[in-house]
Structure 1
Amino acid sequence: MDLPIFKKQSEPSAEHLWSLAIGKNWVDSAIWKVEQEKVHIVAHGGPFPYQEGDIKSLVEAADGSLSNAAAKIKVEIKEPSKVVFGLPPAYLENGEIKKECVEILKKLSHELELSPAGFVVIPEAIIHFVKAQEGAPPNAILVGTSEETLEVTLIQNGKIIKTTEVGRSISVGGDIAEGLARIGEPSQYPTRILIYNHKAADLEATKHELLDTDWEKIGITFLHTPKVEVLPEDAVISSVSLAGGAEVGGATALAYTAPKTQNSSIMSVEESLGEESEVLPEEEITTQDLSNIKTVSPEELGFIEGEDIKDSAVAATPIPEPQITPTFAVHSPATTAIREPDAVNILSTFIKKAKGFGGGRKKYTLASGLILTPLSFGLFYWYAPSAHVSIFVAPKNIEETIEFKTTTSSSPDIGSKTIPAKFIEIEKSTTKQKNATGVKKIGDKAKGEVVIYRVGPAVTLPKGTVLSSGSLKFTLDKDIKIASGSAGPDTLGKNTEAAGVTAVSIGTEYNLSSSSSFKIGTFSAESTTAKNDKAFTGGNAREVPAVSGEDLESLEADAKKELEEKAAAEIKGKLSDGDLLIPDKEKLEITKKDFSDTSGQEVQTVSLNLTGKVRFLVVSREHIKDLTIAQSPLPEGFTLRAENLSIEPEAKGKNSIFKARVKASLLPQVKPEDIIEKIAGSAPQKARSILSATPGFTRAEIATKFKFPGPLGTLPHIKRKITLEIVAEQ
């Protein structure tokens, strides 16, 4: 389909466009063009952080990334104005951009003087990027990471089954398992996990954690251990640019203008994107059937031909100040808006009219050729810079046993170890199969005929009479009449018809040779005896697999475990992030148990169909956190967040008292406003020294917008221009 803003031409023009990818708390940009059906990324702005929910912060971060990209252009080019947005799934509902998100895009477009050409959902763009590189639709679990959440997308045959967002805990594998449970259980999960973010260090740490994950233990069954691959830092913006080029200019490939990333299976297309020059065709990513970009007209984003957005009713709607609450990424408290002096407003207006490059986009930057007076320079130096500070700390891990009781009341009583809970019961079925490990001996019984000799009156030996030859026993096949006889070789009584006998057990040892002697029943050897004129034959034996009692017990135990795991996965998808699920193993009620075979049966495998009702206890993470703190006080200077703990039940004692093992990661307890007060106006080296006093400190990252050279290159002097976050080192 054609974009409504500009149509495809028979030969794609060399017009330059923007890509602007919006992450959960970061934005990234690139300038690209289409030539000879290839997308050439000529400049990459790089990721800039922003405060989630703060539109002003988003605009500033986007402006910073766009400005950074523009500064990398060394030759004069036609000013880009059109932009393709890369959006997170959270921006869309039923395939359309949410109303409140449309307002955000309108604000961005107006402030940065961009003309929206279309948008693409980031996971879809990445799927097509991978498909284009590998030449086949991928089957994978795509995971976008951030400090507080994971975005889990299940992909089958290049199609998105579903995307869900889960809160991040101390176990990334467990978080992915929770996301997959919410998506729903397919017949088989893909054995490939692709992870992406804009921070390489975070991605590598996440990869190593996933490689060490015991998937079966957390309830996810793969055909084999999944392969974990890290997408390069620029994968998102490259994917968005490729999608835009395919739609805008009919591009079928992404041409590399930078070295390939060596430590990633998916290659990077950004490293040294400096001066624009002829692109060397080192490698291409081809793309076909790339229809995932959504066209969007200016009217859809509120732009009306002939009308200035500043005069529209929507533009006049005030943007509420964001309310900042204590989270894992902590920021300075919201402050009352301070109106900048008139001189700054005049300066901002003057700077906005400067060209960014080649008569380029208006932006808050120092344009070449602009001569500032000492006063205007001072105002710009004081008010323009902003900074985002990330303090990385080593979390302190704890593991404690707690006790608690449950109540139907809605209020907890931490002092008496009582918390509200609800019980959920769910019925599930499962089928398990295993190889039989028992052994059974099978074969045939030996047979033959005997001559029975009798001294005394005639007698009839009934069928089944036992004949013994040493320890080996045989039985008569039918009733046999024995004539009377007396002692002497020619006067002994004999059976009047053939006396057939059969061994009581299988085995070759019953194949007796001829002339063997037999004792008959309870008769004495002097009165009644027997011999065989011919050797017995037919006796044999062999061992074969069979069902043992242990097989049945093991199979039932495995089936019960799988029953509980299936029930837990189904229930987890229905719970909120603030809930914890505890299985009540004593309440597992088996309603149907059907073994395919019984103990001793000769079979290679045995299976079990099991149906049962599983009962779960659902409690609040916050309440478990409060119990943990009350029963095991935290080390001084550390704090515990509910989302950073996990719980494993140990036992249920008397009076329905539960015992459980709690594992948690503690973070240093800091006051962001105090830290910002100390580092405002400091040189980066001094700021890092101050930050190093944070408990558990490992390193700090400072991203500054409008950084001045030499002694002027300090952090902003205005505290509200500094945002701060505490990040757990992986």
Structure 2
Amino acid sequence: MQLPFLKKSPNTSTREYFFALEIDHGLIKSAVWSVINDKPQVLAVSSNQSWDDKSEDSLITAADAALSDATSHLDPTGKVNIHKVIFGLPADWVGADKISSTQLHHLKALSEKLDLQPMGFVVPPEAATKYLQFTEGVPPTTILIGFWPHILEITLVRLGKIDGTQLVHKSAHLADDVVEGLSRFSDIDMLPSRMLLYDSGIDLEEIKQLLLAHPWQAPTKHLPFLHFPKVEILPSDFTIRAIALSGGSEVAQATGLINSASETAVEQETVSEPAHSAADLGFVKDVDIITQSPPPPP
């Protein structure tokens, strides 16, 4: 008897799993992902782990806790061993598509200590932009604002392209901090009337209301908003999922885990133009990024 509608369950013991590790200023989180039905899928997400944003030991301790937490959600028995990882790195850790020498040293130590094999890296605003483009079906035009313990990360996106990211030290006046970041985009004639907030585990609803009450179009602000901006809150796991799914797609294609032809067809249906090629994101087939030379000093 043939049972065409009953498919054999995949053997999870032979499935390859990967980590996504997002390192932000003061916080670290991770996810476990795998390729299922020719697409990367997130299977588990960790809780946020704090680190001091300075020391190597603090980075390694927090990363270990995040990776262990994500793995425990996938497999409470502890039988699954995962080694390959995609890094999500702060914008100021990367220059000319390469990791700065100091941070490269930290990542090498982290990888050796935790027995990780780096597959590539991506900057979270870039991954978020591509993921937005995939989920919404059109190139996004928006202001992405990340709220970390001591830093605001403000990214201007127009038609799916990033015009730049500004890091602003966080003060007690968050609306003024956002104004400061937006003011640095001095060559922009019109700002998008949409703000998307992503978080560090804090309550973003209060911040949303604060931003909605701010007089963005007041003449004294000198900010080129054509319309009063709409403010939305992204899910708390949005950036780590974006890193895993958009970055994971690049890795899976580069390593042959996804059929390039089928993946291209899917992207053509949902995304008018990819945000980056694999090389743009630092994904290089069969090359460990930690062994690569850092960019020369300016």
**Inter-CA distance 88–298: structure 2 relative to 1 (3 Å threshold):** same
The code of the aligned residue for 1:107 comes to A
The code of the aligned residue for 1:62 comes to A
Are the counterparts in 1 of residues 130 and 274 from structure 2 also a CA contact under 8 Å? Answer: no
Aligned partner of 1:247 in structure 2 is 250
Matched, 1:289 2:289: no
For the residue of structure 2 that corresponds to 1:294, the secondary structure is coil
Task: Tell me how far 1:25 sits from its aligned partner.
Answer: 0.6
C-alpha distance in structure 1 between counterparts of 2:202 and 2:25, whole Å: 17
Say which structure is richer in helix: 2
Aligned partner of 1:127 in structure 2 is 129
The TM-score with structure 2 as length reference comes to 0.80
Matched, 1:42 2:43: yes
Query: Which structure 2 residues correspond to residues 457-476 of structure 1 after superposition, within 5 A?
Result: none
Are the counterparts in 1 of residues 27 and 51 from structure 2 also a CA contact under 8 Å? Answer: yes
C-alpha distance in structure 2 between counterparts of 1:28 and 1:216, whole Å: 36
Aligned partner of 2:10 in structure 1 is none
Task: Tell me how far 1:54 sits from its aligned partner.
Answer: 1.1
The TM-score with structure 1 as length reference comes to 0.34
Of residues 95, 112, 115, the one that matches 2:114 is 112
Matched, 1:228 2:216: no
C-alpha distance in structure 2 between counterparts of 1:147 and 1:76, whole Å: 32
Say which structure is richer in strand: 1
For each residue in 1:552-598, what CA deviation from the matched residue of structure 2 results, as whole angstroms up to 9, or x when unmatched? xxxxxxxxxxxxxxxxxxxxxxxxxxxxxxxxxxxxxxxxxxxxxxx
C-alpha distance in structure 1 between counterparts of 2:236 and 2:245, whole Å: 16
For the residue of structure 1 that corresponds to 2:139, the secondary structure is coil
Task: Tell me how far 1:58 sits from its aligned partner.
Answer: 0.8
Gaps of 5+ in 1: 1-12, 253-284, 304-730
**Inter-CA distance 299–71: structure 2 relative to 1 (3 Å threshold):** closer
Aligned partner of 1:86 in structure 2 is 88
The code of the aligned residue for 2:228 comes to T
The code of the aligned residue for 2:127 comes to A
Are the counterparts in 1 of residues 97 and 281 from structure 2 also a CA contact under 8 Å? Answer: no
Aligned partner of 1:9 in structure 2 is none
**Inter-CA distance 247–75: structure 2 relative to 1 (3 Å threshold):** farther
Task: Tell me how far 1:71 sits from its aligned partner.
Answer: 1.5
Task: Tell me how far 1:49 sits from its aligned partner.
Answer: 0.2
Are the counterparts in 2 of residues 131 and 158 from structure 1 also a CA contact under 8 Å? Answer: yes
C-alpha distance in structure 2 between counterparts of 1:114 and 1:298, whole Å: 14
C-alpha distance in structure 2 between counterparts of 1:68 and 1:170, whole Å: 32
Aligned partner of 1:373 in structure 2 is none
Query: Which structure 2 residues correspond to residues 14-413 of structure 1 after superposition, within 5 A?
Result: 14-72=15-73, 73-74=75-76, 79-201=81-203, 203-217=204-218, 218-250=221-253, 289=274, 291=277, 293-296=281-284, 300-302=289-291
Are the counterparts in 2 of residues 26 and 49 from structure 1 also a CA contact under 8 Å? Answer: yes
C-alpha distance in structure 2 between counterparts of 1:208 and 1:69, whole Å: 32
Gaps of 5+ in 2: 1-13, 260-268, 293-298
For the residue of structure 1 that corresponds to 2:184, the secondary structure is helix
What is the aligned length?
A: 258
Q: Which has the larger radius of gyration?
A: 1
RMSD: 2.3
Structure 1's consecutive aligned runs of 4 or more residues displaced over 6 angstroms after TM superposition are none
C-alpha distance in structure 1 between counterparts of 2:76 and 2:50, whole Å: 26
Identity of aligned residues (%): 34
Are the counterparts in 1 of residues 35 and 252 from structure 2 also a CA contact under 8 Å? Answer: yes
Task: Tell me how far 1:195 sits from its aligned partner.
Answer: 1.1
The code of the aligned residue for 2:129 comes to I
C-alpha distance in structure 1 between counterparts of 2:108 and 2:95, whole Å: 18
C-alpha distance in structure 2 between counterparts of 1:215 and 1:289, whole Å: 32
Query: Which structure 2 residues correspond to residues 240-639 of structure 1 after superposition, within 5 A?
Result: 240-250=243-253, 289=274, 291=277, 293-296=281-284, 300-302=289-291
Task: Tell me how far 1:37 sits from its aligned partner.
Answer: 2.4
Task: Tell me how far 1:35 sits from its aligned partner.
Answer: 1.2
For the residue of structure 2 that corresponds to 1:247, the secondary structure is helix
